[in-house]
Amino acid sequence: MLLALMVGVGNLIDVLLGGRITVGRSHAGVGGVVLFSLMMVVCAVGMWKMRYWAVLGFQAILALVILLFSLYLIRASNLLGFLFAAAVVGGGGVLFYKLVRTLSRIQMPTYPGR
């Protein structure tokens, strides 16, 4: 939840201050960055309220990020680029695995006696 909030708010602040987010060798459009940032903030708020849809949506976005950075691993031209992409893929994979367990806990039914 904290990671989604930091990414969303950080990207919005960067766009408001006039920063340009670079993806590969091209710059990301402002509209796409704002949309992604708003999705991250909505996911963070939803995860704070323990909503199933928020965790599932964050996992979907995380899966796309892992896929994108695993493709960057193929095109890595130096050791630093390779290590950064490998760290994102590895860290994202661990986070994805931990969120699967969280999803099962959110989905658990509440019994009438409790």
Segment 25-38, tens digit of pLDDT: 556 677 777 888 88
Region of residue 50 (left: phi > 0; alpha: psi -120 to 50; beta: else): left
Segment 28-68, tens digit of pLDDT: 677 777 888 888 889 899 989 988 889 999 999 999 989 99
d(C-alpha 48, C-alpha 79), whole Å: 37
d(C-alpha 83, C-alpha 110), whole Å: 44
Closest CA to 33 of 24, 45, 46, 20: 20
